[in-house]
Amino acid sequence: MSELLTPETIDSWADAADGPVALHMKQRLVPVEGDDGVVFPPTYADVGYNIDELSDGTKVACIDSVGAQANRIEPIFKSSPYAALVPQIDIVYGNDKQISLLDAGHRLGDAIIRCVGPDASGFDLRQAAQDAFQQFLDANDATKIAKLAPTSLVFGAWDSRDTQAKLPRIVQSVIRAWDVDVLHRSAQYNPPIDYAAFDVFSPEEQAKQEGDPKSPLAKRGFVHVPAGEALGGIIVRDRIQRDLTVNLVALRRLHGDDGAALRRYILGLALVAATAPMDPFLRQGCLVVPADGEAPEWMLVARSGARTPVALSEEIALEYASSRTAAFGRGPDRRVAFDKQRAREDARKADKKARAG
């Protein structure tokens, strides 16, 4: 039987020192083509598909990594109704282009944070980020981070190029496929006309470069190019499963002037991130949905290992997050500009350090 979730119950997850250690969600996914559909995992340089073989011979494929899942989930906070929960920081660059901090891969520790100048009011994002990380290091106080970039607390960040402050992930999600077989595919490109016949290049040059995908004419699409034994996706014999964990121990280690309000605010954001509908289009050839419309299975995990079902939903999470955001106080929105000079200075520091090393 699922535990009844009230705001007070959820508060206890953030407050009680001896409270549960985690929330865990498990959900089975299937390709839109059905259980026997072909799925394309991500392809990594020099590796291909990331597939591990267990001691019993079972092959397990990574369909979406922890980092990839975080980068897919975080941008939901740019759109309504989630945008009201976190400060919106936009960085303007080029010809009126802009990027949201919520799209920066390393969040508050991203290089672009060090490459912006003060805004019209004198607010300096680079200095504010450094001060926030330093406060976390010196006093274990995450207040400034929560006011500036709270999703850096939710999904983790590492200020590896400056203060070295590390923020552990509170929300961690990964998708794996169990018991898989790898498929391959071949292809043949045929140019629409015979360019050599029109003296674009000689027949000898055509014969020399045809069939070599790395040749200059092949790269420009002028000659026949076969492609054989390329990766062609996988067949999943067992299941595709998404596992998401909300680390309540890491959450309770966050402190500040009003630690309880801070922790409840970050927990609210974490629950919203965890329950928001997943974008099913992971990449070309990988469009996955819940199996037969199955709802995710949520468990509250105690220190003893006991697992209690909880009826957590998107609606409950959003309502809780909205009320706890109001109590903590959302940080202000900011619009700052990329500063080429600051970027050059930072790049020179990296070059100088590399030469010294």
Regions of the chain short of the pLDDT cut 50: none
Tokens of 261: 């309000």
Q: How far is Cα 151 from Cα 157, in angstroms, rounded to an integer?
A: 9
Give me the pLDDT at residue 356, please: 64
Instruction: Determine whether 265 is exposed, middle or buried from the number of CB atoms within 10 Å of its CB (0-12, 13-18, 19+).
Output: buried
pTM, two decimals, is 0.91
Residue 352 has a pLDDT of: 67
| C-alpha torsion sign, points 105, 107, 111, 116 | positive
| Helix axes 259-275 and 7-15, enclosed angle (nearest 10) | 110
What is the Cα–Cα distance from 149 to 109, expressed in whole angstroms? Answer: 10
Six-digit token string for 101: 């901090």
Report the pLDDT value the prediction gives residue 229, as an integer from 0 to 100. 79
pLDDT at 30: 97
Q: Give me the pLDDT at residue 349, please.
A: 79
Sign of CA dihedral 107, 350, 132, 129: negative
Give the pLDDT confidence score for residue 326 in this predicted structure: 98
Are residues 254 and 156 in contact, defined by beta-carbon separation less than 8 angstroms? no
Using one digit for the tens of pLDDT, what is the confidence trace for 201-212? 999 999 999 999
